[in-house]
A and B are shown apart, each in its own frame.
Chain A
Amino acid sequence: MIIHSIFFYFFSIIAIFSSLMVITSRSTINSVFFLILDFISVGCLFIMVGAEFLGMILLIVYVGAVAVLFLFVVMMLNVAEQKQSWFIGKKSTHIPTGLIVSVLILLELLVVVGGWKYKEDLMSSSTLVLSNVSNTHQLGLVMYTDYILYFQLAGIVLLLAMIGAILLTFRERVGVKKQSYINQISRNPTTAVELKDVKSYQGVKIDD
């Protein structure tokens, strides 16, 4: 067990250190890199407690997709140069907002964990069998039977968020020529070339 606890402290120290670095490092790019390190070490902690599926999904979704987009946006907007004003000592509006959000999250966590303490059958499930079934199977068994409604609702909420984001950023540009693959492929030598008699001093109109 010594090795196990050494690894546990190793990963958790890295996780805490990197999450501190996310909010204190001056360059935004470094913040994102520390965020990635944080995700990876939390994923390792998940795997250490036996939740291998969750750990891998955390790696795939957060590190493989979400953090890439973060990095993408930070690099594209070139916010790497910005100095975080509160770090230097000026007054800023970030701290009160951040405090309110973190207090709310703390309260929510207390409610959830307290709920487990008070009502122990809250997390027990009729279909969950704790035998030698693998972690992935157990998750699937619970999620697609007892909690199928919540699972589907969460999916719909995410879909709505995606459609909303697309709708907000969608704008139809005028004067853009689009390539039509069907027109391109269905061209043949007889229709592709057209002979026109050009009257002098009048020219021809080329339309697309």
Chain B
Amino acid sequence: MIEYLQILGQEIYKIIFLLIPILVSVAMIVWLDRRVWGLVQKRRGPNVVGPFGLFQTLADALKYIFKEIIIPASANKVVFILAPIVTMTLALIAWAVIPMSKDLVLSNINVGILYLFAVSSLGVYGIIMGGWASNSKYPFLGAIRSAAQMVSYEVSIGIIIINVLLCVGSLNLNDIVIAQKDLWYVIPLFPMFVIFFISALAETNRPPFDLPEAEAELVAGYQTEYSGMMYAMFWLGEYANILLMCAMGSILFLGGWLPVMDIYPLNIIPAPIWMISKILFLFILFALIKAIVPRYRYDQLMRLGWKIFLPFSLIYLVLTSSFLFYFDKLPKVNF
């Protein structure tokens, strides 16, 4: 029994040392997002609090903590309080399987990519629960929109993952990274990378697909009735999800923690730094797109998901598998 408690203690220690950097980097990433957004629009962005405005998010968080939490009188209280907690928890538990280097991973499970996919598909519950429990028109419309949107784009993300898995032959995230030692999958599967990126934008409700929180029509969508710390939790969960999608993209297509090339000055840089720089690269693309692309109309969004991405990724799946089969490059299983 004491051994188990010791193991438990060690795990909790590890989990805390995983969670703190993630929460700090989520705060930093919010700052980066606003900064890039500002620079594209020829503004300065947040630059007052701390050096380069780095502590802006901390100041915001402090403000949220001291604000009053208002629960609408006609809301379903339990679900209303549960919704931001679900969003935040789901955004954080997915990080348990993200490998930062060959050994630096909390749990290296066999079905890592399925776990990531499952957790990211559960993310919709926080939004639906929040929208429904608010018992108000705009949050409900936002929740309905986001449920339909996320379910639609998960389908194409699933098929893109199958494309990568066909080339790897394993569901383990470290195996996926190691399989890209010679060639990152962004080169042979470039169209899939583009579709994954756009689907990730839709999956995380980022502009140009931020219809669930379209401020011109729905005030703030599903988070209209939320205030104070509960709003902040939605907000942090959203950004943690965006970071997670970036990490997933860099593992599936950009070679995860592998260096750009396995030559002398590049391969002495530690693996986590490569991983972080790839995540940051994808995140800056996310931020740029937020600043330069106008919002989609809802029927256009659905059309893009079901009529363009789904058939295209299916056709590419057939192409990939026929290529691998014809040139006898299908991954072999060792018994």
By a beta-carbon cutoff of 8 Å, the part of chain A in contact with chain B is 2-3, 29, 33, 36, 52-53, 56-57, 59-60, 63-65, 68-69, 71-72, 75-76, 129, 131-137, 179
Contact = CB atoms under 8 A, between A and B. Distances in A.
B114 A75 contact: no
A57 B335 contact: no
Contacts of A57: 114
Given A52-B110, A64-B124, 11 more contacts: A36-B125, A56-B115, A56-B117, A60-B114, A60-B117, A63-B118, A64-B121, A65-B121, A68-B128, A75-B140, A137-B333
A52 B335 contact: no
Given A52-B109, A56-B111, A133-B335, A71 B118 contact: no
B132 A29 contact: yes
B16 interface: no
A179 B125 CA distance: 33
Interface centre among B76, B111, B151, B299 (most CB of A within 10 A): B111
B115 A133 contact: no
4 nearest interchain CB pairs? A64-B121, A56-B114, A59-B118, A60-B118
B154 interface: yes
Contact of A72 (B109, B115, B144): B144
Contacts of B148: 72
B1 interface: yes
A64 B122 contact: yes
A176 to B, nearest CB: 11
A84 to B, nearest CB: 18
Contacts of B335: 129, 131-133
A46 B72 CA distance: 40
Contact of B151 (A56, A68, A75, A76): A68
Given A56-B111, A131-B335, A136-B111, A68 B118 contact: no
Contacts of B1: 2
A158 to B, nearest CB: 14
A133 B111 CA distance: 13
Contact of A59 (B122, B144, B151): B122
Given A64-B118, A64-B154, A133-B333, A75 B132 contact: yes
A201 B140 CA distance: 51
B138 to A, nearest CB: 15
A2 B2 CA distance: 12
Nearest to A135: B110
Interface in B292-318: 299
Interface of B: 1, 4, 76, 79, 109-111, 114-115, 117-118, 121-122, 124-125, 128, 132, 140, 143-144, 147-148, 151, 154, 158, 170-171, 299, 333, 335
B156 to A, nearest CB: 13
B144 A75 contact: yes
Nearest to B158: A60
Contact of B118 (A56, A132, A134, A137): A56
A52 B111 contact: yes
Contacts of B128: 68, 71-72, 75
Contacts of B132: 29, 71, 75
Nearest to A140: B333
A188 B61 CA distance: 51
Interface centre among B1, B79, B121, B299 (most CB of A within 10 A): B121
Contacts of A129: 335
A129 B111 CA distance: 20
A53 B144 contact: no
Given A60-B114, A60-B118, A71-B128, A65 B333 contact: no
Nearest to A55: B111
Contacts of A33: 79
Contacts of A3: 4
Nearest to B150: A68
Contacts of B118: 56, 59-60, 63-64
Contacts of A137: 333
Contacts of B114: 53, 56-57, 60
20 contacts: A29-B76, A52-B111, A53-B171, A56-B117, A60-B121, A63-B118, A65-B154, A68-B124, A68-B125, A71-B128, A71-B147, A72-B148, A129-B335, A131-B335, A132-B335, A133-B333, A133-B335, A134-B110, A134-B170, A136-B110
Contacts of B122: 59, 63-64
A69 B151 contact: yes
A135 B115 CA distance: 15
Contacts of A56: 111, 114-115, 117-118
A65 B170 CA distance: 24
A65 B158 CA distance: 12
A25 to B, nearest CB: 12
A49 to B, nearest CB: 14
A37 B311 CA distance: 33
